[in-house]
Chains A and B, each alone.
Chain A
Amino acid sequence: MALSVSLLGKTCLVICLDRKLCQLVAMALHRIGIAEVTQSDDFDDALRMMSEVLFDLVICADEGAGTSIEMVKRVRREVASEASGSPIICLTGKMERDQLAEASNAGANCILTLPIGTQNILKGVNRALGDSRPTIAHPNYRGPCRRRKSDAKYAGERRRAADVLGHATPPPQGTQPAALSPQRPGAVKAAAEAERLSEGNKAVFAGLGELSAAIEHLRQAQHAADDEPTKTGVRRQLIEVVMRLVNLLALADSRESDSAEIVLRDRVDAAKDAFFEIAEQIAQSRLKAVSDEIDNCLTNSKVSLGLSERLMADLASVEEIVAVMGGGEKFDGEMVKMPRDNQDETGATIRMRKRQRRRHVGKAVGRPK
């Protein structure tokens, strides 16, 4: 194992109420090269020592996870000096998953569980001393920075004192601060973008998100369904949602000159592309089903009862999709030959066809049923 931090000259305080465990931990530390190890089985005495002496590392050890976590919390909160920011290893016995989070939230740099030996002590010490995260000192949390990612577009509240003073700590290398908002990053971004839109388009923006999610949900349901009545019901709902999406797209007022509306236009285009993709898939699968049935009839010279109704229903759904997408005559028979199936199609040609279809959708909405 490559040791990222030199242990030469490091000092360590081991706080452990169990004298035997304390001795073992101290011995393990000696065997990995940390010569100066101070042991304390009295917590208040340990806190006093930390206020007077700056230790390079503190180990809070107890078989009970609750006790060791509490020790970590108290070290972070009650030590009134820069020592409160020293790297801390929380060493404990069995730990539940929520206790693991609790230990991290208490400000532990590293968590180790018994049984302990020289190898895992060495790894833990290396991890704790090599922790490059800045130390946060806030009334609600003291310990290593636990932000995971930075969001340059985050426009929510910043609660750290350093942010308020204008000395925002840059994210350390390899880690990035996480957004403080409890919302998902995507939702935060969407909300920020929607704020800049006109009132009418705000409604469209919100509606697009809901309908896109509904379409995706129904698609998954359709794939998961294994009986025909369920598939039929899901298909009906899907077409209904798609029709609502088409109406919504027609309402979208894309004012190209306003840069803020471009955000909406991008979302509209993305929704349309998703819609067309679904529609093409449904139409293709329907046509294939019809073709397979007819081939079966011709091969076996058999026509089962009810086949014609089934075929009519499938073709009718294909026609419905074609109508929504702008009518079969506009495609000049290209419903059968999809752009993606044609390997000779250039990217520019495909983009042109996509633009044609978007315009047709807008016009199709105005057609009488």
Chain B
Amino acid sequence: MNEPEANKDGYFDWTEDMSVGIEIIDDDHKSFFELVKTFSGWGRGTASDLVIESALLMLEEYVGGHFLREEKAMQKCAYPKLVAHTQKHSYFRTRVQTISALYSRGTKSAIDDLPVMVVEWLKQHILGEDVQFKHWIRPLDVDSRPLGFLAMEASEINKDGRMDLLLP
């Protein structure tokens, strides 16, 4: 029987072929993998609800902050595929928020496949979409603040419903 991908060594690790050439964006991607790897290492029932909710909250913030960083940079350099890219971000953001909300409301099994889902989506998105703006975005176009600050800004934008304003 084939071993599940998730059990293989390095499944949750960022690899060099995922680099988009912008250090701060690569760091964000590495953070995703680090968080999910940590999360996946917790056996079922070994972490309390509050700790799991903290991990989910951080994942939501990472998603919000990182996606905002990319979208601001794409808009700044007038990246032609901004709209399609942003829609993909929006889809994944909604998925993560939905899983987090389900868990908070008591559906504990909602997070069972979360680590694999995130990694699979990230790998596909980075290798399929993000690498395409490699030759468009310059380091100067990127908001280089720590991810936590971008997460806070994204949260404010979401509150006002202005996320769509990033689209041209």
Interface residues of A (CB under 8 A from B): 1, 3, 7, 18, 20-21, 23-24, 27-28, 30-33, 63, 93, 114-119, 121-122
Contacts and interface: CB of A to CB of B under 8 A. Distances in A.
A350 B148 CA distance: 64
Interface string B63-98: 001000000000000000000000000000000000
Residue in A18, A24, A118 with the greatest tally of chain B CB atoms within 10 Å: A118
Contacts of B48: 63
B53 A31 contact: no
Contacts of B19: none
B54 A27 contact: no
Nearest to B42: A20
Given A18-B51, A118-B62, 15 more contacts: A21-B54, A24-B38, A27-B31, A31-B62, A32-B146, A32-B148, A33-B146, A63-B51, A93-B50, A114-B50, A114-B51, A116-B54, A117-B58, A117-B60, A118-B65
Contact of A119 (B31, B34, B50, B148): B148
Contacts of B147: 31-32, 118
A366 B65 CA distance: 82
A27 B35 contact: yes
Interface stretch (B4-12, B109-117, B135-143, B149-157): B149-157
10 contacts: A3-B149, A21-B51, A24-B38, A31-B31, A32-B146, A33-B149, A118-B62, A118-B147, A119-B152, A122-B149
Interface string B28-57: 000100110010001000111011011111
A3 B153 CA distance: 13
Interface of B: 31, 34-35, 38, 42, 46-48, 50-51, 53-58, 60-62, 65, 145-149, 151-152, 155
B45 to A, nearest CB: 12
Contacts, number: 80
Name the 8 nearest CB pairs between A and B, nearest first.
Answer: A32-B148, A118-B148, A33-B146, A115-B53, A117-B57, A115-B54, A114-B50, A31-B147
Nearest to B52: A115
A131 to B, nearest CB: 20
A121 B47 CA distance: 20
A122 B53 CA distance: 18
Contacts of A32: 146-149
Nearest to B55: A24
B145 to A, nearest CB: 8
Contact of A24 (B54, B65, B146): B54
A115 B50 contact: yes
Residue in B42, B50, B60 with the greatest tally of chain A CB atoms within 10 Å: B50
Nearest to A18: B51
A115 B152 CA distance: 16
Contact of B34 (A18, A27, A117, A121): A27
A31 B146 contact: yes
Nearest to B48: A63
Contacts of A20: 38, 42, 46-47, 51
Contacts of A122: 148-149, 152
Contacts of A93: 50
Contacts of A117: 54, 57-58, 60-61, 151
A114 B54 contact: yes
Given A24-B38, A27-B34, A28-B58, A119 B53 contact: no
Contacts of B34: 27
A20 B37 CA distance: 12
Nearest to A94: B50
Contacts of B42: 20
A327 B65 CA distance: 79
Nearest to B28: A31
Contacts of B155: 119
B49 to A, nearest CB: 9
Contacts of A31: 31, 58, 62, 146-148, 151
Contacts of B62: 31, 118
A23 B38 contact: yes
Contacts of B38: 20, 23-24, 27
